[in-house]
Amino acid sequence: MKIETIKKNISINRIVNQTTEKFTLQEDAIIPDIKPDILKPVSTSGNVCIYKKEVSDGKIKLEGNVEIYLIYLADSETDNIRGINTNIDFKEIIECRDALEGMWINEKVTIKSIECKVLNGRKVNIKVELEAEITLYANEDLDIVNDVENIQDIQEIRKNVKFNSVVGSNSTKTYAKETVKINTEDNLAEILRVDISIINKDTKMSYNKILAKADADVKIMYLTEDNRIRNVEEKIPIMGFVEMQNISEDDICDCRYTIKNILVKPNSEEEHSIYVEIELEISCNAIKDEEIEILEDLYSPSMNVKFNSRNVITMVNKKNKNDMYEVREKIQIQELAGEKIKDIRITPSISNSIASKGKIKYDGEIKADFLITANNQTTVESITKTIPIMYVMDYDEVTENSRIDTNIEVAMQDFVIEDSEVTLNINLNFEVSQYNEINMNIIEDVNIDEEACSENPYSMTIYFVKEGDTLWKIAKKYRSTVDDIMRLNEIEDSENINVGMQLFIPKYVCSKSN
DSSP state letters, 375-415: TTS--EEEEEEEEEEEEEEE-TT--TT-EEEEEEEEEEEEE
| Same-domain check for residues 35 and 103 | yes
| Same-domain check for residues 339 and 406 | yes
Using CA atoms, how far apart are residues 69 and 71, in angstroms rounded to an integer?
Answer: 7
β-strand partners of 348: 366
Percentage with pLDDT > 90 across the chain: 68
β-strand partners of 427: 326, 412
| Same-domain check for residues 192 and 217 | yes
The pLDDT of residue 462 is above 50: yes
94-106 pLDDT, tens digit each: 999 889 998 989 8
| Same-domain check for residues 256 and 401 | no
Using CA atoms, how far apart are residues 163 and 317, in angstroms rounded to an integer?
Answer: 7
- Span of 60-74, 444-458, 478-492, 496-510 with lowest mean pLDDT: 444-458
The pLDDT of residue 375 is above 60: no
Using CA atoms, how far apart are residues 276 and 232, in angstroms rounded to an integer?
Answer: 12
Residues 6+ apart with CB under 8 A from 76: 36, 37
Is residue 443 included in any domain, yes or no?
no
Instruction: Kindly list the distances between the CA atom of residue 238 and the CA atoms of 167, 174, 214, in Å, as whole numbers in the listed order.
Output: 24, 8, 5
Using CA atoms, how far apart are residues 445 and 5, in angstroms rounded to an integer?
Answer: 8
Using CA atoms, how far apart are residues 410 and 425, in angstroms rounded to an integer?
Answer: 11
| Same-domain check for residues 164 and 289 | yes
Helix (H, G, I), strand (E, B) or coil at 242: strand
Domain boundary residue among 408, 437, 466?
Answer: 437
Rounded to 5°, the CA angle 360-366-370 comes to 165
CB of 462 closer than 8 Å to CB of 353: no
Enclosing H/E stretch for 474: helix 471-477
285-323 pLDDT, tens digit each: 999 999 999 898 998 888 888 888 888 889 999 999 999
Residue type, 372: I
Specify the CATH number for the domain of residue 497. 3.10.350.10
Band of residue 514 on the pLDDT scale cut at 50, 70, 90: very low
Using CA atoms, how far apart are residues 375 and 218, in angstroms rounded to an integer?
Answer: 27
Domain boundary residue among 245, 276, 303?
Answer: 303
Band of residue 183 on the pLDDT scale cut at 50, 70, 90: very high
C-alpha torsion angle, residues 295, 301, 305, 310 (rounded to 10): 40
Using CA atoms, how far apart are residues 35 and 33, in angstroms rounded to an integer?
Answer: 5
Rounded to 5°, the CA angle 111-115-116 comes to 135
Helix (H, G, I), strand (E, B) or coil at 77: coil
| Same-domain check for residues 166 and 261 | yes
Number of domains observed in the structure of the chain: 4
| Same-domain check for residues 240 and 280 | yes
Is residue 474 included in any domain, yes or no?
yes
Domain ranges, residue 372:
320-437
Q: Minimal CA–CA distance to 506: which of 480, 483, 486?
A: 480
Is residue 16 included in any domain, yes or no?
yes
